[in-house]
Amino acid sequence: MENGVYFLKGSQQPQKHHDHHRARIQRLKARWPAWVALFASALLYEALPKVFYWGPRGLMISLVTLLIIPLIITSWSSNIRVNRVLNLTVNVLITLYMVTSISRLVFEVLQGHIGPSHLLVSSLVLWSTNVLVFALWYWNLDAGGPNKRELDDENNIGAFLFPPMQITLTSDVKLPSWIKNWEPSFVDYLFLAFTTSTAFSPTDTPILTRWAKCLCMIQSVLSLLIIVLLAARAISILNPNVNYFVS
């Protein structure tokens, strides 16, 4: 009997190892879109004219690359605490870079120091970066972040009530399993950030918490500021000789 029990326990070890390895692979699959967004935001920043670039060329993408490597390692090794600190650190870094560049854009436009081509490129780059940065913030903060969402078997609702969640809460009919077990991925937060920047509000996802509402307001203000600057400069270019009653 003892030998039989010993054999049974030994046979369970490969299965546990296989399940653990499979969970690691699934974790990496769920996170690679966010890492691509991080790298894309750094590449976009490299496309800015020098006047809007803070520090030496290549500094931003070098820092992001150095932080992505330990992000991948800690995700694979399930080091949740270090992984969370690294995620928040790289988010703060790219946010500071973005806000600094937008501030410089506002100053240069008001001073009339920027030409139309540089203004167009800078506006497109900063608007796109704004979408990626806030998508990363929503993904990192909603319901405690990706690590906590994976550990939460009850799928508790976080700061955003996505459409499949609304269906699950309000529908009385039998729902498909993919809706019952639905969890938000980075693409869902990217779409949320995109609609917030284009429509200046989420289109299909109610916001439930105050911190999320504040973030959405900040994102909308930054997006609106970039668009207003671009439109104002375009009007002045198209109508350079118009005499205004108030100037």
Q: What is the pLDDT of residues 15-42, one digit of tens each?
A: 555 556 676 777 778 889 999 999 999 9
Taking the C-alpha atoms of residue 129 and residue 107, their distance in angstroms, rounded to an integer, is 19
In a domain, 17, yes or no: no
In a domain, 6, yes or no: no
Q: Of 47, 50, 140, which Cα lies nearest the Cα of 93? A: 140
> What pLDDT sits at residue 241?
55
- Parent domain of 158: 23-236
pTM for this structure? 0.83
First vs last C-alpha separation in the chain = 96
In a domain, 14, yes or no: no
> What pLDDT sits at residue 179?
80
In a domain, 66, yes or no: yes
The pLDDT tens digits for 90-134 are: 999 999 999 999 998 888 888 877 777 788 888 899 999 999 999
The DSSP secondary-structure symbol of 95 reads: H
The pLDDT tens digits for 149-172 are: 877 655 567 899 998 888 888 776
| Structural domain count of the chain | 1
In a domain, 170, yes or no: yes
Taking the C-alpha atoms of residue 49 and residue 52, their distance in angstroms, rounded to an integer, is 6
In a domain, 87, yes or no: yes
Taking the C-alpha atoms of residue 164 and residue 141, their distance in angstroms, rounded to an integer, is 20
In a domain, 243, yes or no: no
CA 206 to mean position of chain CA atoms: 18
> What pLDDT sits at residue 39?
93
